[in-house]
Amino acid sequence: MKRQPEQAETGSTTLDVAERLVQSRGFNGFSYADVASELGITKAALHYHFRSKAELGQALIARYASRFGDALESIDTGDEPASTKLQAYADLYLGVLRDERMCLCGMLAAEYSTLPDRMQQTVVRFFDDNYAWLQRLLETGRVDGSLQFTGTAEAAAQMIVSTLEGAMLVARPYRDTARFQSVASLLIAEFTRDGRSVPRRRAREP
């Protein structure tokens, strides 16, 4: 049975509220009562759309991963060198931080051991997809000469994600995006020839 338009809209709004709560408090930092209160509906009505918090969490990750994938696809469509695309990738994280939020899956990773099994698997898949995309980009950049690094592209991709996620986490209590930008700039410089600055390209935000 297809959802009625108003039912689908309520489900989407529920995800919007829950996503903001996860990105600001963590998955264990809010309850169905918090979401229902913000939406002005009963918890019973909320359970109609998502039978459990675990189901809500799965839907959150799936939607976030889809949007992030769209953002990566948008970066891929450009004709810029790999170095510019790497900068665009870092700017995705900056955009989230500017909105006073954290990467959804980064927040969930901090709570990994307390998450339901399916959510754990989906969080890992999100990072694996990012590693795979970055690995392809790094290999392309090594070939076209716009990027340089030692070791494998796989290890470099893992280092990039870890650095950006960590930089977001440390910048958060200071509410200072400049701290993140400083780390991101140093990171990009490590991968570009002679540490030269890289032209920026605005990417679609997740």
Residue 202 domain-assigned?
no
Torsion-angle region of residue 40: left (phi > 0), alpha (psi -120 to 50) or beta?
Answer: left
Q: Note the pTM of the prediction, 2 decimals.
A: 0.87
Residue 206 domain-assigned?
no
Residue 181 domain-assigned?
yes
Residue 205 domain-assigned?
no
How many domains in the chain?
A: 1
Q: How many CA atoms lie within 13 A of 10 on its CB side?
A: 18
pLDDT band for 1, please (50, 70, 90 cuts): very low
Tokens standing for residue 28: 């264990």
Residue 195 has pLDDT above 50, yes or no: no
CATH number at residue 35: 1.10.357.10
Give percent of the chain above pLDDT 70: 89
Print the domain residue range for 20: 5-195
Residue 37 domain-assigned?
yes
